[in-house]
Amino acid sequence: MASRAASQALGAPQPLAWRPATLGMLFAIFALNFTDRQLVAVLSEPIKHEFGLSDAQVGLLYGFAFAVVYGIAGIPIARLADRGDRARIINASLALFSLMTIACGLAASYAQLLLARIGVAVGEGGTNPASHSLIAELYPEARRGTAMAVFALGPSAGILLGFVFGGVIGQAWGWRAALVAAGVAGLCLAMLTTWLLKDSPRAAAGNGPASPSLPHCLRQLFRHAAMRHVFLGGALASFAAYAAIGWLPAFLIRSHGMGTAAAGTVLGILLGVLGAVGTLAGGVLADRLGKRDPAWRLRIVAVAFVAVAPLWVIALLAAHPGPAIASLAIPATVLCLYLAPTFAAVQSLADPAMRALAAALLLLAGTLIGLGLGPLVIGLLSDALRPAHGADSLRLALLLVVPVYLWSAAHYLAASRSLAADLESR
């Protein structure tokens, strides 16, 4: 493993002029990554009807099958990123998931669609770990939360694009056209980033760190209590977030009689625009409050999750669309607030020689528990409740997000208590 001095050199922030352009391109890639992922959520009803699927099958398509491949594929790709050219890895992964999104739009059966989604997962699994590592090298610890917040606006932008444009295109020209359009947009972005996105001078010179063994990396990464609690809290927050994002479109359609375009537009504004505000606020507040007390870098997440729990109950049980949408405003703002503090904490606690691996493991936990189980569990629960509750089965199933958010808050609070000491002992 690289020496401590070498690791610190690897973590040194890069020249100011290089940072904003790189961060902007990584944000755009993350946004498109999330756009492709969320299209299946907003288009779930027409896909379900064309192929005659159950809610559980939709949950498998959107969540579990995608998540398993996404999470597992990220580990070996991250190992390459920790010692190789991260820009090339990101660009190749972007091109792959864009091509496979087009394949999703051309699928003639559920099996073909599932296989194409697995291909999307492989491609998307290669972009984020390398992006996390590159951002951590670009920005010092005191500014890392804000930088990660800008990067973490990607899901909000992706939700906005996926829900609004996916809903509009899907309603006007069909769900296949929406997927093909997203894939073509990704290929256009890949041509641009292949030309413009470059790794740090370290990678360009071939001076990447030696790769420690995986067992050694795992022991190093999880020796801190804060890291363990952040992983657990982040995975649970991902479960609740993906469950909500994946099923709220169908909830508005079934329980409140909204059309695909209307539901997509409303949720695009709530989760995309307001979600972006919350995501950016999470990173900025974590940096500012963390200057006085490092515990606030993670405590802010626990406070936010506990505060909005009652509003989730009100929104999901509201009898009319107006109160439901109004009550969703604050929970939607807080939905992705955890991302920037979580990303920043993991990158700050990890040795620079294994930052991409740390990000890949975080994404593995978040995708398997969050994306993998969140939509699937809600779908299974909705199917089980349907005989007794009919169209209301989905709204009742979605109430599961409330205790999960509270459970996540407990882990973030525990992580905040040991964060300062763990950062000192790196």
Tell me what the pLDDT averaged over the chain comes to.
84
Mean pLDDT (whole number) for 362-391: 86
pLDDT computed for residue 213 by the predictor: 67
CB 73 within 8 A of CB 125: yes
Are the C-beta atoms of residues 194 and 202 closer than 8 Å to each other? no
d(CA 371, CA 139): 29
Whether the per-residue pLDDT at 67 is higher than 80: the answer is no
Which range, of 103-107, 214-218, 300-304, 420-424, averages the lowest pLDDT? 214-218
Look at residue 189 in the predicted model and tell me its pLDDT: 93
| Residue pLDDT, tens place only, 347-369 | 889 887 788 888 888 888 888 88
> Per-residue confidence at 7, pLDDT binned at 50, 70, 90?
very low
More confident residue, 76 or 61: 76
What residue segments make up the domains of the chain, in order of their start? Answer: 16-199+211-424
Residue 10 above 50 pLDDT? no
For the chain, state the CA radius of gyration. Answer: 20
Amino acid in the structure at residue 190: A
- The predicted-structure confidence for 124-176, as pLDDT tens digits, reads as follows 888 888 888 888 888 887 788 888 888 988 888 887 787 778 778 887 888 89
Report d(CA 378, CA 28) in Å as an integer: 30
CB atoms within 10 A of CB 315: 24
233-283 residue pLDDT tens: 999 999 999 899 888 988 998 888 888 778 878 887 888 788 889 999 998
**What is the model's pLDDT at position 54?**
80
Q: Are the beta carbons of 21 and 232 closer than 8 angstroms?
A: no
Q: Which DSSP category does 391 fall into?
A: G
Classify each residue of 73-103 as buried b or exposed e, where b means 16 or more C-beta atoms within 10 Å of its C-beta: bbbebbbbbbbbbbbbbbbebbbbbbbbbbb
Element (H, E) at 372: none
Average pLDDT rounded to a whole number, residues 45-58 = 82
Tell me how far apart the alpha carbons of residues 256 and 179 are, in angstroms, rounded to a whole number: 26
Q: What is the DSSP string of 23-60?
A: HHHHHHHHHHHHHHHHHHHHTHHHHHHHHT--HHHHHI
**What integer pLDDT is reported at residue 202 of this predicted model?**
54
Distance CA 51, CA 261 (A): 21
Per-residue pLDDT of 329-341, as tens digits, reads: 999 999 889 999 9
> CA nearest 149: which of 35, 273, 287, 245?
287
Return all residues near 205 (Cβ < 8 A) that are at least 6 apart: none
% residues pLDDT > 70 (the chain)? 92
Mean pLDDT of 49-53: 85
> Percentage of residues in the chain with pLDDT exceeding 90?
32
In the 8-state DSSP scheme, what is residue 274? I
Whose tokens are 């604050």? That residue is 330
HEC readout, 166-221: HHHHHHHHCHHHHHHHHHHHHHHHHHHHHHHCCCCHHHHCCCCCCCCCHHHHHHHH
Rounded mean pLDDT, 164-193: 87
- Owner of token pair 């990220």: 74
- When the candidates are 1.20.120.530, 1.25.40.10, 1.10.10.410, 1.20.1250.20, the CATH number that belongs to 16-199+211-424 is 1.20.1250.20
Residue 206: how many other CB atoms lie within 10 Å:
9
